[in-house]
Chain A
């Protein structure tokens, strides 16, 4: 069914990449509260967290014109990470961790600057 078309220009995807853990993401994996727990705690019934749309849009934008992260490579790596480092994390939290992992792996963002930015963002979002 034309599956080869998917590989055009995106490099080999059948080779399963190997990943090692990333400290800043490990902290989120270990301590982050997942949506299904938060939803239960606060009695809300929407199945996806509010940030899911933004996450999907980031994935789309990354594979658009400049194509910093081709969709097929991202999905392949998400599959691998979902069955290894992030296998105990529910969806869509593991999709987010996998995306950040792929971006760090490629040098699109730096681990240290991500950690620093998370501090700033956390302070901003939690300000009264």
Chain B
């Protein structure tokens, strides 16, 4: 069997960008702008975060009305129930002074979506790293003006009779969306429910679906008019 094992492909080349990153970091440390220990701890924090705690918070809320009430009234305290302490998310201090998580409940008449118009504030301790599109000026500029248009570009059509509310993140507050529990999940466990609450659902650019999990491979639809003969 051993001869069948092939190592995963790796990039065996040092790029100028990799060199630049190391050089900038080393100079900053040497000049005392931060310590190597600080950097290592931030890196460990960055490696450890992801959207799972937020998905768990939503799943618990779907199953437990009391917890849902807590999550909507006090996201900070509810976060502790899923292992996230916003006062000390890194375990060694806060990267900034945000500590107010607000959970926005979608209803049959209101759909929430989250943005940061000024920069890219994001509830990282509970939702992990922001996707690239969330940082783009294009998304940030247009979502607040034409939310339905932007959501339709994500493949999400919000009916005209549903109000769309855009929440603008800021230095004090972070937001996440609590989507509505989809039909077809009536007898599901918390673990099952947590699997279908994807990052995009909690930003408000997608809706949970019983057939779609966070780690599913996305379907690839062949183009009707392919380019380059593919």
For the residues of A in contact with B, the DSSP-based class is helix
Q: B167: nearest residue on chain A (CB-CB)?
A: A1
Q: Does A113 contact B (CB under 8 A)?
A: yes
Query: Shortest CB–CB separation between residue A81 and chain B, in angstroms?
Result: 12
With beta carbons under 8 angstroms apart, the residue of B11, B93, B119, B167 that contacts A42 is B11
Question: Which residues of chain B are near A44, meaning CB under 8 Å?
Answer: 8-11
A31-B15 Cα distance, complex, nearest whole Å: 9
Query: Shortest CB–CB separation between residue B15 and chain A, in angstroms?
Result: 5
A99-B171 Cα distance, complex, nearest whole Å: 20
Q: Does B118 contact A (CB under 8 A)?
A: yes
> Which one of B13, B121, B171 has the highest number of Cβ atoms from chain A below 10 Å of its Cβ?
B171
| Contact (Cβ within 8 A) B26 A121 | yes
Q: Does B153 contact A (CB under 8 A)?
A: no
Contact with A along B1-27 (1 / 0, CB 8 A): 000000011111111111111111111
A91-B132 Cα distance, complex, nearest whole Å: 8
Q: B169: nearest residue on chain A (CB-CB)?
A: A1
Query: Shortest CB–CB separation between residue B151 and chain A, in angstroms?
Result: 19
Contact with B along A99-112 (1 / 0, CB 8 A): 11001000011000
| Contact (Cβ within 8 A) A83 B137 | yes
- Contact segment of B34-42, B50-58, B201-209: B34-42
| Contact (Cβ within 8 A) A91 B24 | no
Q: Does B33 contact A (CB under 8 A)?
A: yes
A3-B47 Cα distance, complex, nearest whole Å: 29
A23-B13 Cα distance, complex, nearest whole Å: 23
Question: Which residues of chain B are near A126, meaning CB under 8 Å?
Answer: 14
| Contact (Cβ within 8 A) B14 A125 | yes
A39-B13 Cα distance, complex, nearest whole Å: 10
Considering the complex, which residues of chain A in the window 52-87 have a beta carbon less than 8 Å from any beta carbon of chain B? 53-58, 60-66, 68, 71-72, 75-76, 79, 82-83
> Which one of B10, B34, B173 has the highest number of Cβ atoms from chain A below 10 Å of its Cβ?
B34
| Contact (Cβ within 8 A) B172 A64 | no
Which residues does B use to contact A, with CB under 8 Å?
Answer: 8-28, 31-34, 38-40, 42-43, 46-47, 93, 95-96, 117-121, 129, 132, 135, 137, 167-173
Top 9 nearest A-B pairs (CB, nearest first) are: A32-B16, A61-B34, A75-B119, A57-B42, A1-B168, A57-B43, A117-B23, A43-B9, A51-B21
18 additional A-B pairs beyond A42-B10, A68-B28, A121-B23, beta carbons within 8 Å, are A1-B168, A3-B170, A27-B16, A28-B20, A35-B15, A44-B10, A49-B17, A51-B18, A55-B21, A58-B21, A58-B24, A61-B39, A62-B28, A76-B118, A91-B135, A97-B20, A122-B19, A125-B19
In the complex, 19 of the A-B residue pairs with CB atoms within 8 angstroms, ordered by the A residue number, are A1-B173, A2-B172, A5-B170, A33-B17, A34-B17, A44-B10, A50-B18, A57-B42, A62-B33, A66-B32, A72-B119, A75-B119, A91-B135, A96-B17, A103-B24, A117-B27, A121-B26, A122-B14, A125-B14
Which residues does A use to contact B, with CB under 8 Å?
Answer: 1-3, 5-6, 8, 13, 25, 27-28, 31-35, 38-39, 41-44, 49-51, 53-58, 60-66, 68, 71-72, 75-76, 79, 82-83, 91, 93, 96-97, 99-100, 103, 108-109, 113-114, 117-118, 120-122, 125-126
